[in-house]
Amino acid sequence: MSCLKSKHVKLSYQEHDRITADTQAVTHAAFLSMGVAWHQHQQYPWETPKWIGGLENAKINISLRIYSNKFHVYAGLAITNPSAHEQILQYADSCNDLFTLMIQNKKKEFKERVLLAKEKVFGHLKPDHKLLLDDDVLQQYSLSKIPPGGRQANSHLSLLAIVDSWSCLGIVPYDHIICSTPLFRIFLGVSEYLFCTPGLLDNCIKEAVSETAFRSDDLSFVIAAREWSNIVTYGDFKLYEKKFVDTQKFFEPMFPEANRVGNEMIKTILKRVRDREEESSISE
């Protein structure tokens, strides 16, 4: 493996299962839920103005990339790994808890919870930390042929919930970056972009409580997250397959283009990760 410059890490099977869950379980649950929510609304997000541009590009790319694969890849990782059960359940709980605060108009409690999650997950980052994603990258990799017409107000509940679930479970995603999948690195990049770009999180918190344009979408997303959690908890491979394949068929026409764009985005992010690791090794 030396010719591939691989790094050897010795792990027990418990450690392996935990790291696999940390870097894959919630990532998959989040974007599977997005796909189901879009499907339920009969929306192709790349054709809907409110889903076009910026963070939406990355979210769409990841979701379609997952649905372009075979269901058993994700079902096996989720259902057969006990560590994944806890995390997927927590993700559904985080979605529900945050959404409840939103519809109850409890801005203070909502803001406190989100900022606590930010501190626990991203608080260790240095001021000169370089984000994995930036505006140029996010705008570049789009499936839409419609030019973005300005940023749409969006709660980004799916991303807030993932960081909240990491916070609740005491997970620091950077601890396992060396073992992470390309999809996880995109997801981490999207999450840190939302939480660490000046002013963006504050706007997101404000819009989550006060704006209602995405409220119906958020409700469908919360329901979808709970459905996936229940399927995993019950260990029902058949139901997992049905829900996955039904949604997969809805998005199937766009898979070739989604994979092409997604591959380019992954190359960009992996290069940034390698550059960051090299800079870190030099400084040490």
- Interval 210-231 mean pLDDT: 92
Residue 203 resides in a domain = yes
Query: What is the percent of the chain where pLDDT is above 70?
Result: 78
Give yes or no for a contact between 178 and 5, defined as CB atoms under 8 angstroms apart. Answer: no
206 CB contacts (<8 Å, ≥6 apart)? 107
Residue 142 resides in a domain = yes
Distances (CA, A) of 262 to 99, 247, 276: 29, 19, 21
Residue 8 resides in a domain = no
53 CB contacts (<8 Å, ≥6 apart)? 138, 139, 142, 144, 148, 149, 151, 152
Report how many domains make up the chain.
Answer: 1
Residue 69 resides in a domain = yes
Per-residue pLDDT of 122-176, as tens digits, reads 998 888 777 766 655 555 555 455 445 555 667 889 999 999 999 999 988 888 7
Residue 6 resides in a domain = no
Stronger pLDDT, 179 or 20, i.e. the higher one: 20
Residue 44 resides in a domain = yes
Residue 1 resides in a domain = no
Phi, psi angle pair for 129, to nearest 5°: -60, 130
Q: Print the domain residue range for 267.
A: 14-283
Cα-to-chain-centroid distance, residue 175: 17
Query: pTM to 2 decimals?
Result: 0.85
Residue 253 resides in a domain = yes
Per-residue pLDDT of 27-36, as tens digits, reads 889 999 999 9
- Indicate the pLDDT class of residue 4, thresholds 50, 70 and 90: low
